[in-house]
């Protein structure tokens, strides 16, 4: 675990065997508590003593999600302009969460995959989804994620969504395990339900491909002398050219520091809990 205070305080520690942890807090400080474990996504918790004027016990549990390779995790609220590869501004909020996940887990590489609904020609949908996935990768690179950690693929309508328990909660007419194929959707009698299924299929997902990535930029930086830092970095070779992202048209069928001085001692405790699931 790593604890960072906004006063410059840093502490690294291991939890107890049961995942519990304790440390003393100082007054008027915001703390970020980061927990990590092999083969789990790093996760964070936040605690603040600002505005607290008496000793008390704080509790912050942190749940860690198991990394499962090659399993798609849907990114909610990723939207594009109609019939276009351009990301809408509201999509950036969710993508910034993915940027944070990638920064907190610097050894993972991922694939970004975009999917369409079944309507439209196959080759057009493949090109549209490819361009959309590439737009997401371009955005991640613009936020400092190394291109070598990212691949992208357009799946068109070839991978209809398999309904999960979470989806059933939001769409009660579906059952866990249903596959939202064209035949399944067209057999529905309710037009609103059909559109809901098409919206579910129009999705952007990421899947973890590997967990052993070593940053070439960081390795090069570690080898440099303090007075020989080189700030001129060329873009990675496989970074997609944003100026080259073209929107398909129906006619185009090609697809730590020591603790500060004394203050009132307080305590923070909690647990870290491994738990398989999606990144929130």
Residue 251 lies in a domain: no
Q: How confident is the model at residue 272 (pLDDT cuts 50, 70, 90)?
A: low
**pLDDT, position 276:** 38
Q: Return the CATH number at 110.
A: 3.30.1330.60
**Are residues 186 and 47 part of one domain?**
no
Is the confidence at residue 271, as pLDDT, over 90?
Answer: no
Residue 115 lies in a domain: yes
Number of domains the chain is built from: 2
- Domain span including residue 189: 73-216+233-244
**Are residues 61 and 132 part of one domain?**
no
Residue 222 lies in a domain: no
More confident residue, 260 or 11: 11
User: Percentages helix, strand, coil for the chain, rounded to the nearest 5?
Assistant: 25, 25, 50
**Are residues 93 and 175 part of one domain?**
yes
Residue 43 lies in a domain: yes
**Are residues 239 and 129 part of one domain?**
yes
Q: Are 136 and 95 in contact (CB under 8 A)?
A: yes
**Are residues 209 and 88 part of one domain?**
yes
Alpha helices in the chain (DSSP H): 91-104, 122-142, 165-170, 182-186, 191-201, 216-223
**Are residues 141 and 192 part of one domain?**
yes
**pLDDT, position 79:** 83
**Are residues 51 and 121 part of one domain?**
no
């Amino acid at each position: 675990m790593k604890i960072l205070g906004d006063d410059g305080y840093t502490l690294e520690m291991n939890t107890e065997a049961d995942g519990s942890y304790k440390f003393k807090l100082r007054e008027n400080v915001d703390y970020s508590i980061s927990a990590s474990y092999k083969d789990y996504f790093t996760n964070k918790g936040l605690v603040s003593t600002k505005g607290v004027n008496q000793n008390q016990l704080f509790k912050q549990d942190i749940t860690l999600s198991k990394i499962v390779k090659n399993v798609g995790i849907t990114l909610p609220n990723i939207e594009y302009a109609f019939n276009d590869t351009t990301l809408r501004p509201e999509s950036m909020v969710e993508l910034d969460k993915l940027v944070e996940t990638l920064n907190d887990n610097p050894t993972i590489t991922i694939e970004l995959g975009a999917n369409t609904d079944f309507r439209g020609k196959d080759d057009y949908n493949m090109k549209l989804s490819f361009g959309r996935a590439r737009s997401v990768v371009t955005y991640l690179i613009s936020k400092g994620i190394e291109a070598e950690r990212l691949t992208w693929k357009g799946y068109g309508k070839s991978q209809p969504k398999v309904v999960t328990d979470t989806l059933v909660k939001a769409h009660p007419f579906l059952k866990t395990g249903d596959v939202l194929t064209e035949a399944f959707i067209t057999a529905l009698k309710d037009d609103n339900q059909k559109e809901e299924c098409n919206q579910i299929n129009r999705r952007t997902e990421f899947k973890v491909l590997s967990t052993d990535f070593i940053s070439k930029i960081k390795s090069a930086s570690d080898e440099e002398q303090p007075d020989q830092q080189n700030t001129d970095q060329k873009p990675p070779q496989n970074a997609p050219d944003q100026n080259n992202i073209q929107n398909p048209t129906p006619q185009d069928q090609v697809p730590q520091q020591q603790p500060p001085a004394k203050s009132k001692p307080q305590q923070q405790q909690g647990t870290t809990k491994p738990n398989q699931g999606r990144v929130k």
